[in-house]
Amino acid sequence: MNTVAQNIRIIRQRMLQACLKAGRDPQEVKLLLATKTVSAERIKEAFACGEILIAENKVQELKEKYPALCGIPHCSHFIGHLQSNKVKDIVRCGVECVQSLDSLHLAEKLHQRLQEEGKTLEVLIQVNTSGENSKFGVAPERALELIYQVSKLDTLKVNGLMTIGALSEDEEKVRSCFRLLKQIGFQAASAVIANVRMREFSMGMSGDLEWAIEEGATIIRVGSAVFGKRSAPLPVDAAR
């Protein structure tokens, strides 16, 4: 089995190839390590390779690993379904961006907490581009409305969009999800909404990162291709 360091080299190579093929500047695409079920020790191996961007999808895991990792400079995002009663932990554990904002209710809970703490938070709006994970992500036709609503909450800085592509081997099907995300991004950007920027497009995972990069991803989220197959069952919102 490969080490974390070897796997990261392979992923960085794949990213570079995809950027070259797409005529994109490799600097435009960030590698986010999806660290669910991965121990703090193995996450530190990735930090030792120079990686700095990680994300959990469960608040419980975030809380468990935070003490071991908070002394090492890195950037932490959140990419899972977030229950509003766990919002305080997100703020406390130094999460800089919630990529999975998909409802006004959650936005209001975050805003309330952030106001109390005098803080701001970067967010991405999660869009359900595949129609598959019906529970998570705002429907594409409602995305713009949600972006408007969130823009009114001044502690939340909308910085782009996130999606999980279709769970399919069908390249066209997967790519059409990524294209739809970009399209919504263009719409939102041309609407010029105060407090809203469309800088980040978080899309693509271990299996489809090349397609995502070719379709314009600025953040790819990679778990298993770096840390190996997960032994624990996948949460429904991350089934892949």
Contacting residues toward ligand PLP, per CB under 6 A: 34, 36, 57, 79, 164, 205-207, 221-225, 238, 240
Min CB(116)–ligand PLP separation in Å? 28
> Which is closer to ligand PLP, CB of 79 or CB of 146?
79
d(CA 104, CA 82): 12
Min CB(156)–ligand PLP separation in Å? 19
> Which is closer to ligand PLP, CB of 74 or CB of 221?
221
Min CB(192)–ligand PLP separation in Å? 29
Min CB(98)–ligand PLP separation in Å? 12
> Which is closer to ligand PLP, CB of 36 or CB of 155?
36
d(CA 140, CA 203): 15
> Which is closer to ligand PLP, CB of 151 or CB of 202?
202
Min CB(36)–ligand PLP separation in Å? 5
> Which is closer to ligand PLP, CB of 150 or CB of 238?
238
> Which is closer to ligand PLP, CB of 31 or CB of 114?
31
Min CB(163)–ligand PLP separation in Å? 9
